Amino acid sequence: MVRGLAPATALRGRAATAAAAAARWCTCRRAAVAVCLGNLVAALLVARALYAPGTFASAPNLLDGQVKYSKEQMRWVEESIRIRRAAEPIELVQAVKKLRKAFAREEKRRKELPLELKQKVTHEILQRLRDLGENRNTTEQRDAVESWRVEKLKYIRSSSTQNLSNFGLSSEESRMLKRALDFNWRMLLEDIGLWIPPAVRHFEHDDKPENEQEEEEIVPGPPLPPECNAELHTDYGGTAVRWGLTHHKESAADCCQACIDQAKRAKPGALKCNIWVYCPSEYGCFSPDRYEHKHQECWLKQLQLLAGSGGAKESLVRRRHCVGVGWGTWFLYSGWIG
């Protein structure tokens, strides 16, 4: 009997313990919900205290269904309207409106000219250009097209309705073509795809005296006497009398004079200078003998001249012994004494 009552007592104890635990859990849950609700209400009150006064102050007063603004608010509205009007680009807006109207008029005029009439105009202009011939410049082509336009306008104005109908144009088409040729000529050329580049005329103003030397051919120093027979961009051959590596002169005239003086002072049987070569460029001068002459080098040479006199002698010297020098690195200045 005692053993039978013990399990029942244990079960009742466990049930009581579970009921007590459930009661405690419900109590904690209610407490947590209550705390959350309290925090939410407090947050709402704080938010209303912070933001509600400014919002209510800036909001318009609603009385009798009408919106009423304060004087300060009205001043702000008027100021914003004035700023917007002052910042509005009135001139630009008006210009855009004018352009839109002009484009609309041009588009309307373009649509008025039928496609068949444009094709007739195209064929006639092309035939006029073919009749003009090939290898014609743009000025002649433009003049030919312009003459066709003038002739066509003159024909339309002077012809009667019957003549125009024989030509294949109705009165309405002739009116549209006349207006296109007279007022919308450029637009008609664009529609038919005809473009002739404008002729560019370039007039070079040359105020330099006739006998003045080119700037790049002006050699510093005094002018050379005729007996030096000087010539630019040349290099005469011959046996060296005085090497230019150690023989420098201030100018080509001084180099030529040194050649003349050496020939006068030379002893019988010695080499006498009759060729001089001078480099006037501070950047050096190229020579066909693969040697680059330095600035102010003066080479004195002797060349066995052929028989002859005057122009014949000069021609023989140049043909047999003169070598042209490239223009790449300035130039050499050479001459012969005869």
Query: Which CATH number is 258's domain given?
Result: 3.50.4
- Backbone φ and ψ for 324, nearest 5 degrees, come out as -70, 145
32's enclosing H/E stretch is helix 2-58
Residue 210 in domain: no
> Are 327 and 227 part of one and the same domain?
yes
pLDDT digits (tens, 9 = 90+) for 22-79: 566 667 777 777 778 888 888 888 777 776 544 444 444 544 556 677 888 888 888 8
- Domain with 44, as residue range(s), is 19-60
What CA–CA distance (Å, rounded) separates 253 from 130?
64
In a domain, 259, yes or no: yes
Q: In angstroms, how far apart are the furthest CA atoms of the chain?
A: 172
Spatial neighbors of 139 by CB under 8 A, at least 6 apart, are: 199
Most confident range, picked from 21-35, 61-75, 88-102, 159-173: 88-102
pTM for this entry: 0.36
Dihedrals φ, ψ of 184, to 5°? -120, 45
Residues 271, 332, single domain; the answer is yes
For residue 300, what pLDDT band results from cuts at 50, 70 and 90? very high
Q: Tell me the per-residue pLDDT of 230-288, one tens digit each, with 9 for 90 and over.
A: 887 777 777 889 988 889 999 988 999 999 999 999 888 888 998 889 988 888 887 76
Greater model confidence, 315 or 83: 83
Q: Which residues pair with 235 in a beta bridge?
A: 323
Tell me how far apart the alpha carbons of residues 60 and 204 are, in angstroms, rounded to a whole number.
Answer: 78
Phi-psi region of 26 (alpha: psi -120 to 50; beta: other; left: phi over 0): alpha
Same domain membership, residue 331 and residue 227? yes
Q: List C-alpha distances in Å: 171 to 111, 157, 159, 162, 163.
A: 17, 12, 11, 9, 10
d(CA 293, CA 279): 6
* Packing angle, helices 185-192 and 115-132, rounded to 10: 90
Q: Tokens 């603004």 map to which residue?
A: 69
Are the CB atoms for 303 and 274 separated by under 8 Å? Answer: yes
3-state DSSP assignment of residue 82: helix
Q: Dihedral of CA 181/182/184/190: which sign?
A: positive
Q: How many domains does the chain have?
A: 3
* In-domain check, residue 211: no
Is residue 269 one of the residues assigned to a domain?
A: yes
- Residue 79 falls inside a structural domain: no
Q: Which string of DSSP letters, residue by residue, matches 156-198?
A: HHHS-HHHHHHHT--HHHHHHHHHHHHT-HHHHHHHHT---PP
- In Å, how far are 110, 115, 194, 202 from 177, measured between CA atoms? 11, 12, 17, 37
Contact between 287 and 325 (Cβ < 8 Å): yes
* 186 and 227 inside one domain: no
Instruction: Kindly state whether residues 236 and 311 are assigned to the same domain.
Output: yes
Band the pLDDT of 316: cuts 50, 70, 90: very low
> Are residue 269 and residue 330 in the same domain, yes or no?
yes
222 versus 218: which is more confidently predicted? Answer: 222
Residue 9 pLDDT level (bands cut at 50, 70, 90): low
Query: Under 8 Å CB-to-CB from 118, ≥6 apart: which residues?
Result: 188, 191, 192
**What's the pLDDT at 248?**
92
Cα–Cα distance for residue pair 332/338, rounded to 1 Å? 20
The reported pLDDT for the residue numbered 178 is 82
User: What's the pLDDT at 110?
Assistant: 59
